[in-house]
C-alpha cells in the first residue's frame, strides 16, 4: 500500500517541476521571482518533512516505482535513502538561498529565468533520487538543458560560447555513459534498468574496464576532474552568479554522487585495476587547480578553481573505498555546497555594488561593511576547513582515508589544502582588509536581507562544525551498504 511517505521522492521532483510552469507565465515584474522563492521554500519544507515522516524501515526501502516502459524494462523508480537525502537537502536549501539572495535583481525575461531555475532543481533532484539507470540518464540530461539555457541567456559577454562548451563537454561524456548503461542493461538477467538488477549483474573484468572509463568520463567531466575541467572556469565566470551557484553548489555534486551510486558498485573489479589512476588524476587536478587559483585576480575564477580542488579531494577519497572516507565525502558534499554558495553570494554582493570583481582593484571593504566582512571571513575559513567549521570533519576523514591508502597521496593532497589557505586568506586580506581606495570608498553595508542569509549560512556552518553527528547518522547506513557491495567483490 502506498502511504503518504512513499510519495515523498516523487513529490521532490513534481513540486519544482510544477512550480516552474507558472513562473514561465508570470509577466508582472518581480512576481516570477517571488513565486519561485515560495515554490522552492515549499520544496525545502517537504524535503525536511520527508525525514521526519519516514517509516519504520530504514532509508533504502523508501522508494516509489511506477512502471514506465515495460517492454524496454525501465520504470520510474526513485529512492530516498541516506545519500540521496543529503543531496536533496542541499538542493532544497540552495535554491531558496540563491533565489532569496538574487531576488529583486532586474533581469530581462524574468519569468523564463526563474522557470528554468526551478526546472534545473527538478532535474537535479531526479538525478539524486533515480534508482533506474534509464531514468537516471534522462534526468542527467534534463538537469543540463535548463542550466544550458540559464548560462547562455544571462551573464557575461562570452556566455554563449562558455555555456556551449560546457554543454558539449557534458553531453559528449554522457553519451558514452549511455552506451555503458545499455551494455549493462543487456547483460541483466531480467532485462531491466533498475539499480538492483544492475548491482546483481556480473560482468567480466574486460567488459568492466571499458565500462568503467565510459562512466568515469561522464562523471569526471561533470565534477570536473583534471584534465576534463577546462569548461568550468569559463562557464563559472561567464554565467550569471545565481547560475554559477547552482552549477558549483549543487550540480558538480552529481558527479561525485554518481561515483558512489553507480560507478563503483557496478564495476568493482575494474576499480581494483584503475583506482590508482583515478586517484592520481584527482590529486593532480587538486594541485593544478590550487596553483592556478593562487594567481587568479578575478574573484569568480578564483572561487571556480578552488572548487575544482575541493571536488578533486572528494573524488580521490571516493576511490580509496573506505567507510569513514565515504562518510566524509558525503557530508563534505553537503558542506562544500553551503560554503561555496556563501562565497558566491559574497562575490555577487561585491560585484553588484562595485561592478568589478578584480581582487587587485578591491580593498578595505571591512571598514565600510564590517558585518559582511565578518560573515564572509567565516565562510572563507570554512572553505579551508578550519576546525569548528563544517568542512573540517569531512576533510579530516577524507585525508585519513587517503593517508591509509597511501601516505604520499595524503601529502600531495595536503599541499593543495595549504595552498587553498594561502589563496583564501590572501583574498580576505586583499578584499576586506587594508585601506580603501577610490572605488571601494563608496561601498556600503549590504542589506539586512543579505546579511540575514549569510548569517544563517554561518550558523549552519558553525552548527555543522560543532555537531556533525546527525549528518553522519543520515548517510552512514546507505554508504556502508554500498561500500560493502564494492568491497565484497
Stretch that binds other proteins, among 38-46, 161-169, 258-266, 481-489 (CB under 8 A): 161-169
Residue 63: phi and psi, rounded to 5, are -145, 160
Q: Which CB, 141 or 275, lies closer to other proteins?
A: 141
CB count within 10 Å of CB 255 equals 25
Does the protein bind other proteins through residue 153 (CB under 8 A)? yes
| Candidate list 94, 102, 152, 188; residue touching other proteins; CB under 8 A | 152
CA-wise closest residue to 211 among 201, 224, 196 = 201
Kindly state the smallest distance separating residue 221's Cβ from other proteins, in Å: 12
Beta bridge partners of 239: 155
Does the protein bind other proteins through residue 167 (CB under 8 A)? yes
CA-wise closest residue to 9 among 41, 42, 47, 44 = 47
Cis amide leading into 371 (omega within 30): no
C-alpha separations of 290 from 266, 282, 317, 421 in Å: 32, 12, 17, 10
| Candidate list 31, 42, 51, 182; residue touching other proteins; CB under 8 A | 182
Does the protein bind other proteins through residue 403 (CB under 8 A)? no
- Take residue 215 and report the three cell numbers written for it: 562512466
Which secondary-structure segment (H or E) carries 79?
A: strand 74-79
Does the protein bind other proteins through residue 172 (CB under 8 A)? yes
- Crossing angle of helices 469-488 and 268-294, in 10° steps, is 130
Q: Which CB, 160 or 400, lies closer to other proteins?
A: 160
Does the protein bind other proteins through residue 448 (CB under 8 A)? no
Kindly state the smallest distance separating residue 31's Cβ from other proteins, in Å: 18
CA distance 450 to 389: 21
Residue 245: phi and psi, rounded to 5, are -60, -40
Instruction: Tell me 66's DSSP state.
Output: E
Residues 16-45, interacting with other proteins (CB under 8 A)? none
CA distance 14 to 20: 10
Kindly state the smallest distance separating residue 199's Cβ from other proteins, in Å: 20
Does the protein bind other proteins through residue 168 (CB under 8 A)? yes
Whether the CB-CB separation of 274 and 212 falls below 8 Å is answered with yes
Does the protein bind other proteins through residue 411 (CB under 8 A)? no
Does the protein bind other proteins through residue 209 (CB under 8 A)? no
The string of DSSP codes covering 169-224 is: HHHHHHHHHHHHHHHHHHHSTTS--BHHHHHH----HHHHHHHHHHHHHHHHHHTT
CB count within 10 Å of CB 198 equals 21
Total residues at the site for other proteins (CB under 8 A)?
Answer: 27
Stretch that binds other proteins, among 167-175, 227-235, 365-373, 426-434 (CB under 8 A): 167-175
C-alpha separations of 350 from 57, 391, 424, 446 in Å: 48, 24, 16, 9
Kindly state the smallest distance separating residue 380's Cβ from other proteins, in Å: 34
| Candidate list 86, 129, 162, 176; residue touching other proteins; CB under 8 A | 176
- For residue 164, the SS3 value is helix
Q: Which CB, 59 or 262, lies closer to other proteins?
A: 262
56 to 95: interface string for other proteins, x by CB under 8 A: -------------xxxx-----------------------
- Take residue 290 and report the three cell numbers written for it: 590550487
Which secondary-structure segment (H or E) carries 140?
A: helix 133-153
CA distance 381 to 428: 10
Whether the CB-CB separation of 80 and 129 falls below 8 Å is answered with yes
Does the protein bind other proteins through residue 186 (CB under 8 A)? yes
- Take residue 202 and report the three cell numbers written for it: 556480473
| Candidate list 12, 142, 369, 446; residue touching other proteins; CB under 8 A | 142
Q: Which CB, 155 or 468, lies closer to other proteins?
A: 155
| Candidate list 5, 183, 199, 396; residue touching other proteins; CB under 8 A | 183
Does the protein bind other proteins through residue 396 (CB under 8 A)? no
Does the protein bind other proteins through residue 201 (CB under 8 A)? no
Does the protein bind other proteins through residue 145 (CB under 8 A)? yes
Q: Which CB, 18 or 172, lies closer to other proteins?
A: 172
Does the protein bind other proteins through residue 175 (CB under 8 A)? yes
Kindly state the smallest distance separating residue 186's Cβ from other proteins, in Å: 6
Residues 110-139, interacting with other proteins (CB under 8 A)? 137-138
Q: Which CB, 65 or 436, lies closer to other proteins?
A: 65
Q: Which CB, 148 or 348, lies closer to other proteins?
A: 148
Instruction: Tell me 78's DSSP state.
Output: E
Q: Which CB, 70 or 435, lies closer to other proteins?
A: 70
Kindly state the smallest distance separating residue 195's Cβ from other proteins, in Å: 18
Which secondary-structure segment (H or E) carries 64?
A: strand 63-69
Kindly state the smallest distance separating residue 150's Cβ from other proteins, in Å: 11
Which residues make up the interface to other proteins (CB under 8 A)? 69-72, 137-138, 141-142, 145, 149, 152-153, 159-160, 164, 167-168, 171-172, 175-176, 178-179, 182-183, 185-186
Amino acid at each position: 500500500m502506498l502511504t503518504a511517505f512513499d510519495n515523498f521522492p516523487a513529490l521532490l521532483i513534481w513540486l519544482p517541476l510544477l512550480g516552474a510552469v507558472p513562473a514561465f507565465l508570470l509577466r508582472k515584474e518581480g512576481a516570477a521571482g517571488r513565486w519561485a522563492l515560495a515554490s522552492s521554500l515549499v520544496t525545502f519544507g517537504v524535503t525536511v518533512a520527508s525525514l521526519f515522516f519516514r517509516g519504520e524501515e530504514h532509508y533504502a526501502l523508501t522508494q516509489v516505482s511506477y512502471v514506465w516502459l515495460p517492454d524496454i524494462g525501465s520504470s520510474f523508480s526513485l529512492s530516498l535513502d541516506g545519500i540521496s537525502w543529503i543531496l536533496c537537502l542541499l538542493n532544497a536549501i540552495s535554491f531558496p538561498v540563491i533565489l532569496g539572495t538574487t531576488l529583486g535583481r532586474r533581469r530581462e525575461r524574468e519569468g523564463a529565468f526563474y522557470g528554468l531555475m526551478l526546472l534545473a532543481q527538478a532535474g537535479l533532484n531526479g538525478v539524486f533520487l533515480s534508482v533506474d539507470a534509464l531514468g537516471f540518464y534522462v534526468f542527467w540530461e534534463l538537469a543540463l538543458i535548463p542550466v544550458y539555457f540559464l548560462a547562455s541567456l544571462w551573464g557575461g559577454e562570452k556566455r554563449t560560447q562558455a555555456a556551449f562548451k560546457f554543454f558539449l563537454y557534458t553531453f559528449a561524456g554522457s553519451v558514452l555513459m549511455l552506451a555503458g548503461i545499455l551494455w549493462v542493461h543487456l547483460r541483466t538477467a531480467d532485462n531491466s534498468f533498475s539499480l538492483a538488477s544492475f548491482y546483481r549483474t556480473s560482468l567480466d573484468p574486460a567488459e568492466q574496464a571499458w565500462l568503467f572509463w565510459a562512466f568515469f568520463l561522464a562523471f569526471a567531466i561533470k565534477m570536473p576532474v583534471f584534465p576534463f575541467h577546462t569548461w568550468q572556469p569559463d562557464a563559472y565566470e561567464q554565467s550569471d552568479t545565481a547560475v554559477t551557484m547552482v552549477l558549483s553548489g549543487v550540480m558538480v555534486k552529481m558527479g561525485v554522487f554518481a561515483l558512489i551510486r553507480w560507478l563503483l558498485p557496478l564495476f568493482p573489479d575494474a576499480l581494483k585495476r584503475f583506482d590508482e589512476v583515478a586517484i592520481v588524476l584527482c590529486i593532480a587536478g587538486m594541485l593544478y587547480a590550487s596553483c592556478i587559483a593562487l594567481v587568479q585576480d578575478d574573484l569568480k575564477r578564483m572561487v571556480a578553481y578552488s572548487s575544482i580542488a575541493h571536488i578533486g579531494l572528494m573524488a580521490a577519497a571516493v576511490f580509496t573505498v573506505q567507510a569513514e572516507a565515504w562518510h566524509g565525502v558525503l557530508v563534505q558534499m553537503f558542506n562544500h555546497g553551503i560554503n561555496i554558495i556563501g562565497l558566491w553570494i559574497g562575490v555577487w554582493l561585491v560585484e553588484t555594488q562595485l561592478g568589478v570583481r578584480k581582487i587587485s582593484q578591491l580593498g578595505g571593504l571591512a571598514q565600510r561593511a564590517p558585518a559582511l566582512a565578518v560573515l564572509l571571513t567565516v565562510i572563507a575559513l570554512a572553505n579551508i576547513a578550519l576546525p569548528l567549521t563544517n568542512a573540517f570533519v569531512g576533510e579530516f576523514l577524507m585525508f585519513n582515508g587517503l593517508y591509509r591508502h597511501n601516505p604520499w597521496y595524503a601529502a600531495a593532497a595536503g599541499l593543495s589544502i595549504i595552498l587553498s589557505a594561502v589563496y583564501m586568506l590572501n583574498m580576505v586580506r586583499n578584499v576586506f582588509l587594508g585601506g580603501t581606495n577610490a572605488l571601494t570608498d563608496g561601498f556600503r553595508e549590504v542589506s539586512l536581507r543579505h546579511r540575514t542569509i549569510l548569517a544563517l549560512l554561518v550558523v549552519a556552518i558553525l552548527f555543522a562544525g560543532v555537531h556533525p553527528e546527525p549528518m553522519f547518522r543520515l548517510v552512514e547506513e546507505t554508504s556502508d551498504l554500498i561500500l560493502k557491495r564494492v568491497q565484497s567483490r
